[in-house]
Amino acid sequence: MSNENLSTRLERSSRRDIKKILMINPQSETHSEQASRFPLGLFSIATFIAEKFKGPLDVSILDLQIQTPDFDIAKAVEDVNPDVVMTTAITPYEPYAQKIGEIVREVKPTSLSLIGGYHATARPSETIASGNFDVGAIGEGEETVLDFLNALATHTLDQPEKLLDIPGLFFKGDNGQTAYSKLRVPQLPLSQYPWASKGLELLVGQTVSYQVFGDTKKFDSQPGTIITSRGCVHNCANCGSKQMFQVVRNRPPKDVVGEIRYLYDKYGTKNFYFADDTINQDPERLNEISRLLIREALPIEWVGMARVDTLKPDLYKLAVKAGAVEFAFGVESADPQVLAALEQNKANLENVVATTQMVRDAGADVKYYLMTGNPKETPESSQMTAEFLQATQPDKIRVSRSIPYPGAPFIGEIEVVPPYDKQYEHWWAFPPPSNPFGPLLNLTKTSLMSPEQIEEARQLLIRTHLAYGGKI
């Protein structure tokens, strides 16, 4: 049945009711470690379709990142016996998503397979070419997947051409060419989406706990992952957020705090990661979230990613009163030429210094995200960054290397060297959380730096941080 064309598969599916959906989050064999954060994309789609599908629907989530390495995927698929299987992947997980597609084809060949996520959005034709998936979703998937399932439920979605009526889809037609429906712009406000964290109630498998939080710290209670907004108003050259999220959308502060209260009441969650691209993108909205959290008086701690151009000391003071213990900033480099190449001009060093002091005065830790191997970077650039680290001494750092991920604007300025250029499973920008300062493969090069120089620059920043007593 694996050689069937899409017409045959759709025609067969159109004759039966859609009752069971299985959503699978892949694990990496090269970067394997128990996950600390919820797969919010899958969780959100799962809870959305479970609530809004026109009819009864059994939705299950299999997160392989919280399973043991010997977990039997094939048996799990057999046990669920799904009518539709959905998988998602960022670029380093793409080969493993393909393996999942192969397993599903073998174990449950009559089910339809979908794929979405960042990599599928940026490289749809490449993703669908393998034949392991019937249909792909571009961008935010909730409304797209719901419309697809509702169309299946009408028993009329029996030909590939009818997929073109559902915005946000792509597929390989019977002629072997990739076809696309029109681009979808999400219509529903995020306030009408179910809480993504309710996906915890849909998990199947052996292990259903996200035990590791932050870099190396472990907590007794179930940590939580929250997103208060989607998308970003900025267009940094090293980020593919603009391609994934067409518009910026915010959740109402009361909705955010309600979800936090739900996780605290149901799971005892006291430690939260705010997964927004920029938690302080709308300062007043963050202030309102902080005020509501203070009113709730929950004994929680949270961390978030922010930008340094929001020079508002009271924002950080209020956030700390509301439980904030750390703000992370994308400093990337101390070389102005590198920042300009990354379109990070607002992340100027004066703002970094000022914001670092504001956060410290408020009582929270400061974490810098740094990158080596950037466009315009030289070995001298990393020396400048090391000197800046010594001067500012952030509490924590994470040093990654720039990767030309599909969808990032600076793709083409950084080269992945053979044989890794064809091996997405090695395209990791940073090591596993249990060894955050460990070595990385000599994976990339630029016109100004060799792979060895890029890793040496990374190690220089790590040595500098540890020399002044920085935290791991």
Encoding tokens for residue 379? 């070995």
Query: Is residue 369 situated within a structural domain?
Result: yes
Cα dist from 341 to 186, 359, 393, 453, whole Å: 31, 27, 25, 19
- 154 plus 258 within the same structural domain: no
pLDDT tens-place string over residues 17-38: 999 999 999 998 877 665 678 9
- 121 plus 242 within the same structural domain: no
pLDDT at position 213: 38
Distance CA 31, CA 433 (A): 10
Query: Has residue 240 got a pLDDT over 70?
Result: no
Distance CA 189, CA 191 (A): 5
Given its phi and psi angles, is residue 393 left (phi above 0), alpha (psi -120 to 50 degrees) or beta? Answer: left
pLDDT tens-place string over residues 417-430: 999 999 999 999 99
pLDDT at position 214: 39
Encoding tokens for residue 291? 């005020």
pLDDT at position 374: 95
- 114 plus 259 within the same structural domain: no
pLDDT at position 319: 98
Query: Is residue 188 situated within a structural domain?
Result: no
- 10 plus 66 within the same structural domain: yes
pLDDT tens-place string over residues 128-169: 999 999 999 999 999 999 999 999 999 999 999 999 999 999
CA neighbor of 317 nearest in space, from 350, 340, 297, 291 = 291
pLDDT tens-place string over residues 60-89: 999 998 888 789 999 999 999 999 999 999
pLDDT tens-place string over residues 315-346: 999 999 999 999 999 999 999 999 988 876 55
End-to-end C-alpha distance for the chain, whole angstroms = 51
- Count CA atoms within 13 Å of residue 384 on its CB side: 17
pLDDT tens-place string over residues 157-202: 999 999 999 999 999 988 899 999 999 999 999 999 999 999 999 9
pLDDT at position 311: 85
Q: Which residues pair with 250 in a beta bridge?
A: 229
Query: Is residue 148 situated within a structural domain?
Result: yes
Name every residue whose Cβ is closer than 8 Å to that of residue 251 and which is 6 or more positions away in sequence: 190, 191, 227, 228, 229
Distance CA 339, CA 309 (A): 14
Quick one: pLDDT band at residue 365, thresholds 50, 70, 90? Answer: very high
- 266 plus 171 within the same structural domain: no
pLDDT tens-place string over residues 244-291: 777 889 999 999 999 999 999 998 999 999 999 999 999 999 999 999
Instruction: Tell how far CA 207 is from the center of its chain.
Output: 21
Quick one: pLDDT band at residue 209, thresholds 50, 70, 90? Answer: low
Mean of per-residue pLDDT scores for the chain: 91
Query: Has residue 212 got a pLDDT over 50?
Result: no
* β-strands 365-372, 324-332 pairing: parallel
- 162 plus 230 within the same structural domain: no
Encoding tokens for residue 296? 């709730």
- 218 plus 141 within the same structural domain: no
The per-residue b/e assignment along 184-217, b for 16 or more CB within 10 angstroms, e otherwise, is bebeeebeebbbbbbbbebbebeeeebebbbbee
Query: Is residue 193 situated within a structural domain?
Result: no
- 247 plus 358 within the same structural domain: yes
For residue 54, count CB atoms less than 10 angstroms from its CB and return exposed for 0-12, middle for 13-18, buried for 19 or more. exposed
Q: What percent of the chain has pLDDT over 70?
A: 92
Q: What percent of the chain has pLDDT over 90?
A: 79
- 175 plus 222 within the same structural domain: no
- 101 plus 234 within the same structural domain: no
- 225 plus 348 within the same structural domain: yes
Distance CA 174, CA 411 (A): 31
Query: Is residue 197 situated within a structural domain?
Result: no
Distance CA 58, CA 50 (A): 7
Given its phi and psi angles, is residue 441 left (phi above 0), alpha (psi -120 to 50 degrees) or beta? Answer: beta
Domain count across the chain = 2
CA neighbor of 195 nearest in space, from 386, 404, 48, 390 = 48
Which of 130, 159, 180 is the C-terminal boundary of a domain? 180
Which of 130, 158, 180 is the C-terminal boundary of a domain? 180
pLDDT at position 68: 81
CA neighbor of 34 nearest in space, from 470, 445, 432, 449 = 432
Distance CA 91, CA 110 (A): 27
CA neighbor of 274 nearest in space, from 24, 32, 40, 117 = 40
Quick one: pLDDT band at residue 1, thresholds 50, 70, 90? Answer: very low
Give strand ranges (E) for 275-352: 301-306, 324-332
Which of 139, 161, 180 is the C-terminal boundary of a domain? 180
Q: Looking at residue 406, which CATH number applies to its domain?
A: 3.20.20.70
pLDDT at position 174: 86
pLDDT tens-place string over residues 110-122: 999 999 999 999 9
Query: Has residue 459 got a pLDDT over 50?
Result: yes
pLDDT at position 216: 38
Q: Looking at residue 47, which CATH number applies to its domain?
A: 3.40.50.280
Quick one: pLDDT band at residue 237, thresholds 50, 70, 90? Answer: low
Query: Is residue 205 situated within a structural domain?
Result: no
- 230 plus 329 within the same structural domain: yes
Q: Which residues pair with 396 in a beta bridge?
A: 367
Domain span at residue 316 reads 211-467
Q: Is residue 202 within 8 Å of residue 59, measured between CB atoms?
A: yes
Distance CA 342, CA 405 (A): 14
Name every residue whose Cβ is closer than 8 Å to that of residue 100 and which is 6 or more positions away in sequence: 24, 26, 73, 85, 87
